[in-house]
């Protein structure tokens, strides 16, 4: 057999600045694809709506307090509290309700994160590049995770900051400590949604199926578990991520929900009996999502 | 000798009980190399091994001197154009190429500049703005090639790169592949369309049943098939029959067949000798030679021979 002469240049490192971390372009592609869908824009508008309603509630509540805090009107404060509620209530209600609306956004944007790659055969293109499985997984989690960060975590922080900024002077000191539980519970919700959609996308075949299954599953579990709890089967409450999150949020923010405003808002029934078990249940949902992602990547991609 | 761009040393790959590649020993350097073989011969498996998508069960695969499976950074030097359409249909051609180029570690500005230059090079300067779902097969193929070369890799693997392209696009893409080879890149092209491979390169690797059957220059390989003499068709003006008997006197000519009054077919063991000896003989006997062609001195002839062997 003939052997022809061979020359080569060998592997050379890229000259110039340090290579950009490949997780960013993966996340960016997810957003670019998501932004092209009309459903993304519509669900984002719903998010803004929820934020706006809670913002107005919070501002009007605090402005009323500032006004009533003056001299002879001080006596009316307790009555006003009963009507407009407290900052704790606004934040807790925001995290719980926005969790549902954000589920819509993240489902629309990230349902195809892994499923579409698998259908399109994009793994071959991704992993013919200097990319590891970890880069890929982190890139997808980042892409999906920044959506609830933008619609749930950051707005919660903004609401808290607004509250601290416009609260009557005597009230500020009690609002400072709210930052950690409010933002922390929003972050927990964001992590649950991110791991849930990415895990489901890793298991699913089509983005539309994944999107529908995610939203319908969340609503269905919430409704069914709520009904079962009301019928006396309290343990079932821990199977609803929304109810678990609500339980944890209420516990962290020490919310009673007895104001008139809070009672007008949907989805604020009582939570589960044990916040610790709810926290554990949310952790299990997150772990399941990450496990599905790991399984899929290990199955589809052999390269290290 | 320095390390070749691509090397496979005693490589075997099994899929369950099926041995997709069997003891492949191969080194590929700069220039365009055609990877040929019937369906299921192991071409795509070999490409995937070189791209680091698969790990060999036996032997050692090297890309630019490194193991492409375990050492991800070396894949920065690789451009892969897969056979199947692997697209995000809602992205424009530019966005798609830019997104993949950024995965090679380029900043957004660098990736954008490289994408613009590459889209121009593959002829998608204007149509690349379309969404991929709105593109024709040929445009999609060009987009796939663009993403494989935008980061300027020294090794380019092209799996059926001309599928779906119209004749003009094919000619353009063939010219592009040749240019990539002339730039000193190692370009491995897998294709079933032999005349297109022949238009790109004379350097081929032939695989069948997972085994390496031949590698090297098409004409030199053809010359090594001693049990398969070349056929040469001659058109002459003059007495073809008498000229035919003269041709039998040449040492390398085995048989002469008179096809018509002005056409002869001879078989020869050495095409170069025939190309020198036959015109000289015609001139010496006052015969005007108007045509000298060998229908089986090309890649197709070699391919048929190698496929026909058990």
Residues B27-35, mean pLDDT to the nearest whole number: 92
pLDDT grade for A86, boundaries at 50, 70 and 90: confident
pLDDT at position A269 is: 62
The answer to whether residue B104 neighbours chain A at the CB level (below 8 Å) is yes
pLDDT grade for B310, boundaries at 50, 70 and 90: low
Return the structure tokens found at B152: 């300027």
Among chain A, residues having any CB pair with chain B shorter than 8 Å are 1-14, 17, 19-20, 22, 24-26, 28-29, 32-33, 36-37, 116, 120-122, 124-132, 302-304
Contact list in B for residue A7 (CB cut-off 8 A) is: 1-2, 4, 29-30
| Residue B104 confidence (pLDDT) above 80 | yes
Closest CA to A269 of A129, A92, A149: A92
ipTM given for this complex: 0.77
Q: What is the rounded distance in angstroms from the CA atom of residue B26 to the CA atom of residue B46?
A: 11
Sheet (strand B203-208) strand order:
B78-81, B155-159, B186-190, B31-36, B203-208, B211-217
Contact across the interface for A129 and B88, Cβ inside 8 Å: no
Residue of chain B minimizing CA distance to A131: B72
Return the structure tokens found at A304: 């290290």
Query: Phi and psi at residue B156, in whole multiples of 5°?
Result: -125, 125
Between B53 and A145, name the one with better pLDDT.
Answer: A145
Each residue of B213-266: pLDDT tens digit? 888 888 777 777 777 788 888 888 877 888 888 888 888 888 888 888 888 888
Residue B61: its H or E element: strand B58-63
Residues B86-98, mean pLDDT to the nearest whole number: 88
pLDDT at position A145 is: 96
Q: Is the CB of residue B68 less than 8 Å from the CB of residue B154?
A: no
The alpha carbon of residue B99 is apart from the nearest alpha carbon of chain A, in Å, by 6
pLDDT grade for A259, boundaries at 50, 70 and 90: low
Q: Is the CB of residue A252 less than 8 Å from the CB of residue A185?
A: yes
- The number of helix segments (H) and strand segments (E) in chain B equals 10, 13
| Residue A212 confidence (pLDDT) above 90 | yes
Each residue of B217-230: pLDDT tens digit? 887 777 777 777 88
Instruction: Give the max Cα distance, chain B.
Output: 74
Residues A53-66, mean pLDDT to the nearest whole number: 87
pLDDT at position A262 is: 58
SS3 A276: helix
pLDDT grade for A1, boundaries at 50, 70 and 90: very low
Percentage with pLDDT > 70 across chain A: 83
Each residue of B117-150: pLDDT tens digit? 999 999 998 999 999 989 988 889 999 999 999 9
Contact across the interface for B78 and A7, Cβ inside 8 Å: no
Residue B36: its H or E element: strand B31-36
By the 10 Å C-beta count (0-12 exposed, 13-18 middle, 19+ buried), B54 is classed as buried
pLDDT at position A7 is: 46
Residues B55-83, mean pLDDT to the nearest whole number: 91
Q: What is the pTM of this model?
A: 0.81
CB neighbour list of residue B248: distance below 8 Å, 6 or more residues apart = B256
> Between B52, B76, B90, which is nearest A33 by CB?
B90
Best mutation target among A116, A130, A133, A301 (most B Cβ atoms within 10 Å) is A130
pLDDT at position A70 is: 60
Between A79 and B141, name the one with better pLDDT.
Answer: B141
> Between A4, A8, A130, which is nearest B76 by CB?
A130
Return the structure tokens found at A180: 């950690």
| Residue A72 confidence (pLDDT) above 80 | no
CA distances in angstroms from A215 to A206, A208, A230, B208, listed in the order given:
15, 11, 23, 51
Q: Is the CB of residue B205 less than 8 Å from the CB of residue B7?
A: no
Q: Report CA dihedral (A93, A95, A96, A99) to the nearest 10 degrees.
A: 150
Between A17 and B63, name the one with better pLDDT.
Answer: B63
SS3 B99: helix
Closest CA to B89 of B44, B55, B130: B130
Q: What is the rounded distance in angstroms from the CA atom of residue B161 to the CA atom of residue B165?
A: 9
Cβ burial B204-236 (10 Å sphere, 16+ → b, else e): bbbbbebbbbbbbebeebbbebeebbbbbebbb
- pLDDT, chain B, mean: 87
pLDDT grade for A8, boundaries at 50, 70 and 90: very low
Each residue of A286-298: pLDDT tens digit? 999 999 999 999 8
| Residue A256 confidence (pLDDT) above 70 | no
CB atoms within 10 A of CB B71: 18
What secondary structure letter does DSSP report for A233? -
Closest CA to A29 of A106, A102, A109: A109
């Amino acid at each position: 057999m003939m052997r022809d002469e061979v020359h080569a240049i060998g592997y050379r490192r890229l000259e110039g600045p340090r290579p950009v971390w490949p997780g960013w372009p993966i996340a960016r592609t997810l957003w670019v694809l998501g932004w092209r869908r009309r459903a993304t824009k519509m669900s984002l508008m719903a998010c803004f709506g929820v934020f706006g309603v809670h913002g107005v509630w919070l501002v009007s509540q605090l402005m009323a307090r500032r006004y009533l805090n003056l001299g002879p009107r001080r006596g009316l404060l307790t009555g006003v509290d009963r009507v407009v509620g407290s900052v704790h209530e606004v934040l807790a209600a925001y995290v719980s309700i926005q969790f549902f609306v954000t589920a819509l956004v993240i489902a629309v944007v990230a349902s195809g994160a892994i499923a579409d790659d698998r259908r399109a055969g994009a793994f071959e293109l991704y992993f013919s590049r200097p990319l590891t499985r970890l880069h890929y997984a982190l890139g997808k989690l980042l892409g999906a995770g920044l959506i609830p960060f933008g619609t749930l975590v950051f707005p919660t922080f903004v609401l808290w900051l607004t509250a601290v900024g416009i609260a009557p002077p005597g009230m500020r000191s009690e609002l400072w400590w709210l930052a950690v539980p409010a933002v922390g519970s929003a972050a927990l919700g964001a992590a649950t949604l991110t791991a849930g959609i990415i895990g489901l996308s890793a298991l699913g075949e089509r983005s539309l199926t994944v999107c529908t299954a995610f939203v319908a599953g969340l609503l269905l579990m919430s409704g069914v578990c709520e009904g079962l709890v009301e019928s006396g089967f309290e343990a079932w409450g821990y199977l609803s991520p929304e109810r678990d999150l609500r339980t944890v949020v209420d516990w962290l923010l020490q919310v009673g929900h007895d104001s008139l405003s809070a009672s007008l808002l949907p989805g604020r029934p009582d939570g589960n009996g044990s916040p610790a078990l709810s926290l554990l249940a949310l952790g299990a949902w997150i772990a399941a999502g990450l496990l599905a992602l790991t399984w899929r990547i290990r199955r589809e991609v052999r390269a290290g | 000798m320095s390390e070749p761009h691509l090397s496979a040393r005693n490589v075997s790959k099994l899929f369950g009980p099926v041995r997709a590649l069997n003891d492949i020993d191969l080194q590929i350097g700069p220039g365009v190399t055609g990877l040929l073989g019937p369906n299921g011969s192991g071409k795509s498996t070999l490409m995937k091994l070189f791209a680091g998508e698969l790990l060999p069960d036996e032997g050692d695969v090297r890309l630019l001197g490194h193991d492409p499976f375990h050492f991800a950074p070396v894949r920065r030097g690789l451009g892969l154009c897969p056979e199947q359409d692997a697209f995000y249909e809602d992205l424009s051609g530019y966005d798609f190429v830019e997104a993949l180029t950024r995965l090679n570690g380029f900043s957004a500005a660098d990736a954008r500049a490289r994408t613009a230059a590459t889209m121009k090079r593959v002829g998608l300067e204007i149509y690349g703005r379309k969404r991929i779902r709105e593109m024709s097969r040929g445009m999609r193929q060009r987009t796939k090639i663009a993403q494989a070369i935008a980061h300027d890799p020294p090794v380019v693997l092209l799996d059926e790169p001309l599928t779906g392209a119209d004749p003009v696009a094919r000619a353009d893409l063939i010219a592009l592949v040749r240019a990539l080879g002339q730039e000193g890149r190692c370009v491995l092209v897998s294709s079933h369309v032999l005349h297109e491979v022949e238009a790109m390169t004379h350097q081929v690797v032939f695989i069948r049943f997972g085994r390496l059957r031949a590698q090297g220059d098409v004409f030199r390989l053809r010359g090594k098939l001693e049990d398969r003499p070349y056929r040469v068709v001659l058109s002459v003006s003059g007495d073809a029959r008498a000229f035919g008997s003269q041709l039998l006197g040449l040492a390398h000519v085995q048989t002469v067949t008179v096809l018509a009054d002005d056409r002869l077919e001879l078989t020869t063991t050495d095409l170069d000798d025939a190309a020198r000896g036959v015109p000289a003989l015609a001139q010496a006997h006052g015969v005007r030679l108007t045509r000298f062609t060998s229908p089986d001195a090309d890649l197709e002839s070699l391919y048929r021979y190698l496929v026909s062997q058990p």
